Structure 1
């Protein structure tokens, strides 16, 4: 079993109005010895913006802004910008986040050339009711019955003439194009899906997604498999390219006596065909154990969203109990060697 070191809390909420309720679930990108962090900052009323700070090395806070870097501007994000992730593809940074309008939570994109100025590109996932999603997704083959449990809802919202859409979160780009195309993960509960072979992001149209949903089962990458992820799985950190495959740190959720328990998990996807799972740890990489993971705004949460590699040590940044940001570290080569022991073709 691979050993993970809990490095502790690296960022906590402050008295500043934009982050006085919590800081969590950060996007992370390493450049040189610096780690840039774009984190979800929560104000009173559960209104989220994106704050910014920088670390010198993996753990030493070097610089932090006293106001949010990105704020809500449009209807689709009017209640908050949540849970960002970031990658660099060629000469552009792609920052994805969940836009929340008070009813719907949908994956959005902003791009930047300098990590300072960002251009918002809007919602990039399907905007669809559950009824329409179910009709399209089951047109050819039956889908996991848990989709109904996690995405159907009462009629209370329709009574107020509000439009309720399937929540589609955890949008995470692969950090390079594959065969000159964009690939990205996303999550409609309870599984992780992938969008593949997109030449231009302008091609993510309603027609594109209707065809995509008609073949929905073909694009499911990860499903619940082990006890610690039995309820559902979701995206975590941007995939890391290795000789063995794309290393994916994701989150797995188990419904316990005191509510859901969120753990960090690890898998490998095929380099040229990331729809194919190569290996997966049969146990959580790390889970809530310490007070600041067990107790907070939401108890029992380790929610990984970003990594930084320093020599052979992989630092994994995660939201702890939905209130603070912590870091865990693990041997990079050791984790890959451990994963290879659990190749999918070896499953019994």
Structure 2
């Protein structure tokens, strides 16, 4: 569900035209798409799943695969990806599958989803739209914490789940529950990007001033929340009333319609770097992009005060410019969600046209 507002490691890296020629020194990158290998994951009609809610066997990843999270575990990249079947009134139910790679490019999938709507206490949030758009970090004790969107066909709710092995998950439900005044668990919320630091090949959630921090939202404004335990989150507000925006759209730029966090935010020596996705309104902007394009930029927030924006990229550093990014379930989408450090490189995984999954990478520095 997306809001609709109107070869081997030796492969050749191909520079793509969307890289800024004046990359700012604090940004993560510069990224290059692996054009000879992309897309690295595509829909598959042969895998089936006995859906406990529907009570029948479904081809759970037949329609589309997209919007993945990624972590490094036991020397491999583990990708948790959103997959849609072709059943139901919402044009397919989303579940989350798991695939592994030892080179960042070639993936081996498990035949069944590892996270899905079930006949549990959270069915009312997840059925029948499904579970969408995971982002995963490690807690300091090694537990994996996944933020994801539960979609019931009417509202999107940001939820959280934990796992010790990426296979078995414990759900906790909506992260805000009754902590948004006037909305609570029924407030439309998506895309939770938890602030973390790199520890070798791991991205570990890191407290700042005694609290965990998370950027979230898919609105003209970007919001932030705090937590003591990575499970229960409290949005920052202004005077205890309206949500506090920490960034906003820019009227004439590529990000003039919508802001949405990408992979987990990264604590660096320069500050907190958040890769973000944006939507473009061609009737109001001057970016020379097609209407509705999802392109990506980066924010820099203060490392001591994560609600203070310091800088942002002047233009996008990635846009959809390949056929599989331009045409699909939703056209003109490069939606970035998974970022891991692995074998000397950053590996950045993203959904293409809400249909397939691709990768770009950059040297670690």
TM-score interval (norm. to shorter): 0.7 to 0.9
SS of match in other structure, 2:297: strand
Pick from 65, 85, 92 the counterpart of residue 46 of structure 1: 92
- Give the structure 2 partner of residue 253 of structure 1: 279
Q: Alignment partner of 1:76: what SS?
A: helix
Question: Partner residue of 1:219?
Answer: 244
Mapped to 1, the partners of 2:352 and 2:218 lie a distance apart of 22
Alignment of 1:164-313 (within 5 A): 165-174=186-195, 175-196=205-226, 198-200=227-229, 204=233, 212=237, 214-215=239-240, 219-225=244-250, 227-256=253-282, 259-310=291-342, 313=345
Equivalent in the alignment of 2:176: 125
Q: Contact 1:296–1:323 at 8 Å: present in 2 too?
A: yes
**Superposition deviation, residue 183 in structure 1:** 1.4
Cα distance in structure 2, aligned partners of 1:291 and 1:298: 12
Return the alpha-carbon distance in structure 1 between the equivalents of residues 159 and 150 of structure 2.
6
Give the TM-score normalised by structure 1.
0.78
| CA drift at 1:213 | 6.7
Separation in 2, partners of 1:109, 1:245? 26
1:138-153 correspondence runs (5 A): none
SS where residue 95 of structure 1 aligns?
strand
Change in 2 beyond 3 A, CA 1:271/1:121 = same
1:298 partner SS:
coil
Q: Distance in 2 between matches of 1:111 and 1:6?
A: 31
1:184 and 1:314 map into 2 onto residues whose CA distance is 21
Cα contact 1:236–1:248 (8 A) shared by 2: yes
Whose helix fraction is larger, Structure 1's or Structure 2's?
Answer: 1
Distance 1:241 1:201 in 2: 17
Preserved CA contact (<8 Å) 1:33 1:57: no
The gaps in structure 2 that reach 5 residues or longer are: 1-20, 24-29, 48-58, 196-204, 284-289
1:33 and 1:251 mapped to 2: Cα distance? 29
Aligned-partner Cα distance in 1 for 2:232–2:318: 38
TM-score by length of 2: 0.75
- Please give the root-mean-square deviation of Cα atoms over the aligned residues, in Å: 2.5
SS state at 1:60 partner: coil
Q: Shift of the alpha carbon at 1:51? A: 0.4
Residue 331 of structure 1: how far off its partner (Å): 4.1
Aligned length: 297
What is the CA distance between 1:286 and its match in structure 2?
0.5
- C-alpha distance in 1 between matches for 2:270 and 2:75: 25
